[in-house]
């Protein structure tokens, strides 16, 4: 189901509150519940309106024999040529038609409304790929748009056709103020997130300079993440770092979904030196938020999980021997996902977003370690644990100015903590390498 949830994540854009009946062509039966009107719109009875919607996945159906005249809303998704043919086959004038480019075409993660170049460029900025090749591809696409070349946007498309003006996308149904803006023809680009139970859909208004971004969650795991992010944003708004963290504009939690709207700032170019200095300053300031201490023995008893790797066991034993000396460790609030792609350089300085994994009581330097190795963990194909550990140590030393012995202690704790959520070969190799090096 997670794969279908991701493949049809563009349903965020559909005006499901206007629909009384929905039918499918080419959409797997297993995916139908994702479009269930009662589930997505929260309605308990059949609406008085008999309006109907047809959703066609043109990757898996022929539309020549479909009688489209009996529907009030038509949604078609698939190769650009098939979508164009679908639109040409419609036998009557429709009051509304909107097309979206789905990018990348082979495995879409982003839906961008086709229209003015500036609107498309804003939508592209919603995608923050970690791979250098993907970032180059986005920059190249923007360059082609400036030259008037839009063919790359035509390969995979989504079209929404209606016989009456639309109310608002289902993704906005809990945000009354934003729905009022929708009546003024606000357009949205939509980012699909990542495959899995924690997937969130992100909507960005692109028809004018956007000031807010909208996150929507439907699964229990994703809703819990947004609840935690809202709490973290509220907490950070009361700290000296409030200018470096998005403002929480609105938050609505219902049984069916959680919707969070937060401040958005467009990314600007900054030199490596000034961005690096700002990140160092941010991490040192964050280390003073909810600052405290706890015994190493207590942290180990609460954090260590059973693992079968021998190197992990030896590492934990070393930490337990240190803990016998009643060693205290520094703890504070951490971002939890402090990766380069969650940081923007804006006119107001560095902006750190995506606080879904933020928590207090985290040992020092965890965000610094993660920042220095995140690209290698999730993007790089070639991974050398010795080089990764060296980079993590150097960055933590530069940020904190702590002695090497403390940096190694907190790095050991980070490896133990990280292994709770990541059992990949890369983390295992880091633990093995570190355990061999750490005396």
Q: What confidence tens digit (pLDDT) does each residue in 137-189 have?
A: 666 776 766 666 667 778 899 999 998 777 778 788 777 666 666 655 678 89
Distance CA 362, CA 335 (A): 10
* Residue 252 clears pLDDT 80, i.e. is over it: yes
**How much is the pLDDT for 307?**
63
Triad 36, 41, 43: Cα angle to 5°: 95
Higher pLDDT, 18 or 163: 163
Asked which of 235, 263, 291 is the last residue of a domain, the reply is 263
Q: If you average pLDDT over every residue of the chain, what do you get?
A: 86
* Residue 43 clears pLDDT 60, i.e. is over it: no
Residues 46-102: pLDDT tens digits? 444 578 899 999 988 877 777 888 888 999 999 999 998 988 888 767 888 889 999
Same domain? For 222 and 306 the reply is no
Same domain? For 314 and 408 the reply is yes
137 burial via Cβ count (<10 Å: 0-12, 13-18, 19+): middle
Distance CA 88, CA 105 (A): 22
Compute the residue count for the chain.
439
**How much is the pLDDT for 193?**
86
| One-character DSSP codes across 87-120 | HHH--S--SEEEEEEEESSSS--EEEE-S-HHHH
The CATH code of the domain that includes 326 is 3.90.1200.10
Asked which of 263, 286, 309 is the last residue of a domain, the reply is 263
Asked which of 232, 263, 294 is the last residue of a domain, the reply is 263
- 286 pLDDT band, cuts 50/70/90, is very high
Q: Say whether 291 sits in a helix, a strand or coil.
A: coil
Element (H, E) at 213: strand 212-217
Q: Say whether 248 sits in a helix, a strand or coil.
A: strand
Q: Say whether 285 sits in a helix, a strand or coil.
A: helix
Q: Which domain holds residue 328?
A: 272-437
* Lowest mean pLDDT across 13-27, 270-284, 390-404: 13-27
High-pLDDT (> 90) share of the chain, %: 45
Q: Name the β-bridge partners of 203.
A: 190, 214
**How much is the pLDDT for 46?**
45
Same domain? For 297 and 377 the reply is yes
Same domain? For 155 and 122 the reply is yes
Same domain? For 325 and 187 the reply is no
Same domain? For 200 and 288 the reply is no
Residues 218-239: pLDDT tens digits? 889 999 999 999 999 999 999 9
Residues 98-134: pLDDT tens digits? 899 998 888 888 999 887 777 777 777 776 655 566 6
Q: Say whether 45 sits in a helix, a strand or coil.
A: coil
Same domain? For 202 and 166 the reply is yes
Structural domains in the chain (count): 2
Same domain? For 67 and 206 the reply is yes
Same domain? For 163 and 309 the reply is no
Same domain? For 285 and 226 the reply is no
95 vs 148, 165, 232, 368, CA distance in Å? 28, 7, 43, 53
Same domain? For 318 and 204 the reply is no
Same domain? For 113 and 246 the reply is yes
């Amino acid at each position: 189901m997670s794969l279908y949830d991701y493949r049809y994540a563009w349903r965020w854009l559909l005006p499901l509150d206007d629909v009384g009946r929905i039918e499918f062509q080419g959409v797997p039966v297993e995916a139908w519940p994702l479009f269930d009107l009662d589930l997505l719109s929260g309605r308990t009875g059949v609406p008085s309106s008999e309006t109907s919607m047809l959703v066609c996945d043109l990757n898996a159906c022929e539309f020549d024999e479909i009688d489209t005249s009996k529907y009030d809303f038509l949604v078609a998704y698939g190769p650009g040529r098939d979508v164009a043919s679908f639109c040409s086959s419609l036998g009557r004038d429709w009051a509304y038609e909107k097309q979206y480019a789905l990018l990348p075409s082979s495995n879409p993660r982003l839906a961008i409304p086709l229209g003015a170049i500036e609107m498309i460029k804003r939508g592209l900025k919603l995608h923050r790929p970690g791979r250098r090749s993907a970032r180059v591809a986005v920059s190249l696409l923007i360059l082609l748009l400036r030259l008037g070349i839009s063919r790359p946007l035509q390969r995979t498309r989504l079209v929404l056709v209606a016989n009456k003006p639309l109310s608002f996308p289902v993704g906005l149904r809990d945000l009354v103020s934003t729905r009022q803006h929708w009546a003024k023809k606000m357009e949205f680009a939509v980012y699909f997130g990542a495959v899995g139970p924690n997937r969130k859909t992100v909507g960005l208004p692109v028809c004018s300079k956007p000031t807010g971004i909208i996150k929507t969650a439907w699964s229990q795991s994703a809703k819990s993440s947004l609840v935690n992010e809202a709490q973290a944003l509220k907490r950070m708004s009361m700290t000296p770092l409030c200018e470096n963290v998005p403002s929480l504009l609105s938050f609505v939690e219902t049984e069916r979904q959680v919707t969070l709207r937060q401040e958005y700032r467009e990314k600007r170019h900054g030199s490596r030196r000034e961005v690096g200095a700002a990140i160092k300053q941010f991490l040192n300031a964050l280390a003073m938020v909810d600052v405290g201490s706890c015994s190493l023995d207590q942290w180990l008893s609460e954090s260590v999980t059973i693992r079968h790797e021998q190197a992990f066991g030896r590492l934990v034993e070393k930490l337990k021997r240190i803990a016998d000396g009643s060693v205290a460790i520094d703890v504070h609030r951490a971002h939890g996902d402090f990766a380069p792609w969650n940081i923007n350089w804006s006119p107001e300085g560095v902006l750190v977003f995506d606080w879904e994994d933020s928590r207090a009581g985290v040992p020092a330097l965890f965000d610094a370690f993660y920042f220095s190795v995140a690209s290698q963990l999730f993007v790089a194909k070639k991974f050398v644990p010795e080089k990764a550990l060296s980079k993590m140590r150097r960055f933590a030393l530069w940020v904190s100015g702590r002695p090497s012995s403390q940096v190694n202690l907190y790095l050991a704790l980070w490896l133990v903590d990280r292994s709770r959520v990541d059992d990949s070969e890369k983390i295992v190799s880091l633990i093995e390498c570190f355990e061999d090096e750490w005396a």
